[in-house]
Structure 1
Amino acid sequence: MSHVEKEKKKLLNRLARLRGQIAAIERAVTEDRECARVLQQATACRGALDGFIAEVIEDHIREHLVDPAAADDSPRRRAADELIDIVHAYLT
């Protein structure tokens, strides 16, 4: 992945949060917490992972599929923006 440092930092922050959420799930299972609590934490983790995936897809589209010199109203740029909106709507 050859993303700019700002995007890389954002992704690494998301991964750190995911790591914490996974650890919380592990603790809940180890401590025999009730099923509803474990499921709630697992669902939050899944949402965080979906957000991470959406960010990687968006970065990929912007970095590799759209010409940075293209005008904001070019058909390709508009299609890329629409695709990004769809990915975010589906995953987040």
Structure 2
Amino acid sequence: MHISKNRDAILARIRRIAGQVGAVERAVQSDAGCAETLHLVAAVRGAVAGLMDELVADHLQAHVAAPGLSDAERNAAAEELVMLLRRHVR
């Protein structure tokens, strides 16, 4: 799997996101102000979007643009990505 070459960096990003989600939970539990909580949620959203961008780029490079792939492999990977992106942007 192509993610394995970047596994440590991706896992580090996911752990940071988990920490950010924890901060949102703590803010809600402690009755933090709305603006503060919204800023925390916006940071989580941005971090998840950045992770998504990285994974999409990796997918494109490994499964669509890589040399040696058959047309069927490229088409299947592209269709999979289109379906995923449609769910993501809803």
After TM superposition, the score normalised by the length of structure 2 is 0.70
Q: Which runs of 5+ in 2 are unaligned?
A: 69-90
Aligned to 1:37: 36
Q: Which runs of 5+ in 1 are unaligned?
A: 70-92
Aligned to 1:67: 66
1:3-41 Cα offsets, whole Å, 9 max, x none, are 253311111111000000000000000000000000000
RMSD: 1.4
- Matches of 1:32 and 1:26 in 2, distance apart? 10
1:24-62 Cα offsets, whole Å, 9 max, x none, are 000000000000000000000000000000011000001
Identical columns (%): 38
After TM superposition, the score normalised by the length of structure 1 is 0.68
Length, aligned pairs only: 68
4+ long deviations beyond 3 Å: none
Give 2:44's aligned amino acid.
Answer: C
Higher relative contact order (CA 8 A, sep 6+): 1
